[in-house]
């Protein structure tokens, strides 16, 4: 087993970008012990002082936005325009949390009469282990780690082995902000994550696959500690026959192919009324033809590579399965001939059946299956025909129909038409195999705190 993580560029023939030492067992154990030792003093500071210290980290991130966006684009292939906007969005969410957390975590009187007062307070759990995905590096930190820190926990973070240089850069900024041992980093693959969660920790936060999430849930059960699991998705979008296609087709395209389709909550199954299915399919094909797949560091690139060769191989496996069972390629379906790296064309499929992997598995790449429906009941049945339940999307001019469909789709969040749920005020998370717990908003703070009731006589 090698003792270093080699970072390569999926957008530049897998050229080596650098390397980071894999954390040893002793280093992991000591990191958690140091986080444990630092936690009580961090909690004792009080929320206003903790926020003041976290402002230093915000300032450092803000002053390094170009470097952050560049390493994200180089290391995981996100187009530079997207990595820049995602960094800006993460900074905005960071500010929202610093501004709003004091009100969210303020003690609340639940009962009062002439004899007594009852009050709810929020106490930190202690030390959290946070294992994060590679697809949105800085936003994932703001969603998963920042609220826990504000609430008074210390956190030990392990990012995916796909982005070690980003993780190392963020570790450096945290140290520079004076947060050493408050937020700590370990480096490596799943074995390091397993070793981390074996330690004396008080809760687990994980973003990634259902299979790993299930394993961590079982481990947490043996420790009797809480979990926050943000897992996969196979989100449906229902397009009803009254929809103005020209007003929503770009949104649908973006919602499937943004970040090369590597987004747990994006649209993954398009369910369209049969009367407009062919028209919408053709409109999506025309958009796909006009998009540029290429160098993620180029500002005119619309879609970069997938994060790694293994992701391309998985996508090709799912596509081959679909084609063997009768699917038809409307556009794409192959690696671009003129590019070297983890590239794959935006791919649109029709003639989909329920036994295909592209229907019943999560497709984490630029591929969109399209199916038709005739009745409302059929559309909802198709939408809910998945083990996942993260997000869903509805398109119709009929507000009453939109409201009914949003409630009937089994998911953690559903949006209608051009609206979206991804705001720092809104809780994010799923049901079924898409996860447990919530991130973001006031509800996200509930999952990183012990809710405690105090009662005393007047």
Q: Which two tokens stand for residue 141?
A: 């930190």
Q: Are 437 and 452 in contact (CB under 8 A)?
A: no
Give the Cα separation of 453 and 121 in Å (integer): 6
Q: Are 155 and 451 in contact (CB under 8 A)?
A: no
Which of 437, 84, 430, 36 lies closest to 233 in space, CA to CA?
430
Question: For residue 295, how many other CB atoms are within 10 A of its CB?
Answer: 20
Task: Report helix, strand or coil for 19.
Answer: strand
Give the Cα separation of 289 and 291 in Å (integer): 6
Provide the sign of the torsion angle of the four alpha carbons 449, 103, 156, 14, taken in this order.
positive
Which of 132, 238, 222 lies closest to 185 in space, CA to CA?
132
Write out the E strands in 133-266.
154-159, 183-186, 203-207, 227-230, 235-239
Options 75, 162, 171, 230, the catalytic residue: 230
Write out the E strands in 10-153.
15-21, 108-112, 116-124, 127-132
Options 260, 264, 361, 362, the catalytic residue: 264
The partner residues of 436 in beta bridges, in order of sequence, read 229
Give the Cα separation of 37 and 409 in Å (integer): 45
Which of 262, 266, 357 lies closest to 305 in space, CA to CA?
262
Q: Which residues does 292 contact at the CB level (< 8 Å), separation at least 6?
A: 300, 301, 302, 303
230 is annotated as an active-site residue: yes
Which of 452, 457, 456, 458 lies closest to 105 in space, CA to CA?
452
CA 334 to chain centre: 26
Question: For residue 47, how many other CB atoms are within 10 A of its CB?
Answer: 17
Expressed in percent and rounded to 5, the helix, strand and coil fractions of the chain are 45, 25, 35
DSSP per-residue string spanning 174-196: HHHTT-TTTEEEE--SHHHHHHH
264 is annotated as an active-site residue: yes
Positions marked catalytic: 230, 264
């Amino acid at each position: 087993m090698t003792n270093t993580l080699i970072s390569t560029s999926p957008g530049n023939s897998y050229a080596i970008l650098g390397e980071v030492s894999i954390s040893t067992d002793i280093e992991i154990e000591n990191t958690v012990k140091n986080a444990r030792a630092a936690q009580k003093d961090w909690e004792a500071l009080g929320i206003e002082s903790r926020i003041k210290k976290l402002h230093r980290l915000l300032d450092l991130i803000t002053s390094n936005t170009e470097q952050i966006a560049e390493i994200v684009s180089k290391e995981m292939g996100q187009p530079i325009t997207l990595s820049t906007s995602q960094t800006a969005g993460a900074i905005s969410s960071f500010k929202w949390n610093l501004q709003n957390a004091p009100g969210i975590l303020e003690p609340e009187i639940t009962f009062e009469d002439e004899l007594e007062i009852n009050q709810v307070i929020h106490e930190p759990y202690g030390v959290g282990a946070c294992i994060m995905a590679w697809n949105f590096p800085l936003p994932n930190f703001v969603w998963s780690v920042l609220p826990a820190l504000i609430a008074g926990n210390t956190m030990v973070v392990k990012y995916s082995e796909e982005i070690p240089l980003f993780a190392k850069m963020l570790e450096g900024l945290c140290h520079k902000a004076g947060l050493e041992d408050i937020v700590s980093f370990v480096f490596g693959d799943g074995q390091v994550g397993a070793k981390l969660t074996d330690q004396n920790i008080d809760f687990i936060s994980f973003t990634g696959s259902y299979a790993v999430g299930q394993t961590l849930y079982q481990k947490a059960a043996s420790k009797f500690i809480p979990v926050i699991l943000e897992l996969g998705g196979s989100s449906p979008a229902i397009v009803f026959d009254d929809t103005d296609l020209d007003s929503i087709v770009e949104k649908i395209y973006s919602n499937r192919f943004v970040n090369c389709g590597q987004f747990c909550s994006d649209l993954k199954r398009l369910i369209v009324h049969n009367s407009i299915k062919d028209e919408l399919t053709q409109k999506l094909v025309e958009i796909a033809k006009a998009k540029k797949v290429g160098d993620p560091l180029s500002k005119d690139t619309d879609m970069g590579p997938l994060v790694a060769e293994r992701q391309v191989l998985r996508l090709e496996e799912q596509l081959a399965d679909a084609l063997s069972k009768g699917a038809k390629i409307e556009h794409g379906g192959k690696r671009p001939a003129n590019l070297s790296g983890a590239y794959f064309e935006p791919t649109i499929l029709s003639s989909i059946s329920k036994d295909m992997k592209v229907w019943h598995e999560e497709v984490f790449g630029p591929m969109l299956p399209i199916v038709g429906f005739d009745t409302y009941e059929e559309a909802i049945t198709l939408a809910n025909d998945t083990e996942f339940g993260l997000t869903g999307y509805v398109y119709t001019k009929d507000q009453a129909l939109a409201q009914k469909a949003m409630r009937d789709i089994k998911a953690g969040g559903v949006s209608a038409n051009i609206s979206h749920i991804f705001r720092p005020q809104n809780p994010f998370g799923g049901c079924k195999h898409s996860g447990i717990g919530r991130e973001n908003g006031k509800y996200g703070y509930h999952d990183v705190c012990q809710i405690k009731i105090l009662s005393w006589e007047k």
